A and B are shown apart, each in its own frame.
Chain A
Amino acid sequence: NAGVTQTPKFRVLKTGQSMTLLCAQDMNHEYMYWYRQDPGMGLRLIHYSVGEGTTAKGEVPDGYNVSRLKKQNFLLGLESAAPSQTSVYFCASSYQGATEAFFGQGTRLTVV
């Protein structure tokens, strides 16, 4: 039982490049979330999904897009990376919105 798996774990991008972060969960959870973590800022919600085929904006959605084509996967895309997007990205999932969230190990992204 892998839980929540994020790929890749580390990535360095040049400004303007694009990439996709993949989050996969094997717990049949309905809810999935993408957060970014920056020093002193806590975990800020980028986008979230309450079920397959649905997505919604969080607190800091600008510069990111997401897709939830399959229930087990939640993709986070950066179309044109900027240095301000240098961060640690965490994906999480939960069975319902009011139950505990399980986190992936995180992706450390550096944009130069």
Chain B
Amino acid sequence: GQQVMQIPQYQHVQEGEDFTTYCNSSTTLSNIQWYKQRPGGHPVFLIQLVKSGEVKKQKRLTFQFGEAKKNSSLHITATQTTDVGTYFCAGKPSNTGKLIFGQGTTLQVKP
């Protein structure tokens, strides 16, 4: 079946260090979305990428969509304690109505 894999599962960093999470799909995606879930909360939409090779930035966050539209990454520069949470990628396989989530990467930031 269609799968979206995300690594790493956990990441502990010192405040100020960079952080990257990677997302890979077994099938071509029509788009990739990224969400953040704070502890005890619900997923909140961050961004969507649609075009092959697309790169978008939100302040310290950089999102990339691979050329083959099967992989994506989220990079956070100079992490802060407010970045703590679980980051999920979610993909919509072509020609389906499904929105499939990766397993998520939980980020801990030590002050």
Q: Which residues of A pack against B, CB within 8 Å? A: 31, 33, 35, 40-45, 48, 50, 56, 58-59, 90, 92, 94, 97-106
* CB-nearest residue of chain B to A58: B98
**Are A43 and B33 in contact (CB-based, < 8 A)?**
no
Interfacial residues of chain B within 90-111, with CB under 8 A of chain A in the complex: 90, 92, 97-104
**Are B45 and A43 in contact (CB-based, < 8 A)?**
no
Q: A43-B88, A98-B31, A103-B43 are in contact. List 10 more A-B contacts (CB 8 A).
A: A41-B103, A42-B88, A43-B90, A43-B104, A45-B98, A48-B98, A94-B99, A98-B48, A101-B90, A106-B42
The docked-state distance in angstroms from the alpha carbon of A102 to that of B88 is 14
The docked-state distance in angstroms from the alpha carbon of A94 to that of B48 is 13
**Are B99 and A104 in contact (CB-based, < 8 A)?**
no
**Are B101 and A99 in contact (CB-based, < 8 A)?**
no
**Are A45 and B100 in contact (CB-based, < 8 A)?**
yes
Total interface residues in chain B, CB < 8 Å: 24
**Are A100 and B33 in contact (CB-based, < 8 A)?**
yes
- In the bound complex, residues from chain B placing their C-beta under 8 Å from that of A90 are 42-43
Known A40-B9, A48-B97, A59-B1; judge A100-B103 contact (CB<8 A): no
Closest Cβ–Cβ distance, residue B97 to chain A (whole Å): 4
**Are A56 and B97 in contact (CB-based, < 8 A)?**
yes
The docked-state distance in angstroms from the alpha carbon of A58 to that of B2 is 10
- In the bound complex, residues from chain B placing their C-beta under 8 Å from that of A44 are 101
**Are B48 and A99 in contact (CB-based, < 8 A)?**
yes
B78: Cβ under 8 A from any A Cβ = no
**Are A98 and B101 in contact (CB-based, < 8 A)?**
no
The docked-state distance in angstroms from the alpha carbon of A35 to that of B103 is 12
B73: Cβ under 8 A from any A Cβ = no
* CB-nearest residue of chain A to B45: A100
B30: Cβ under 8 A from any A Cβ = yes
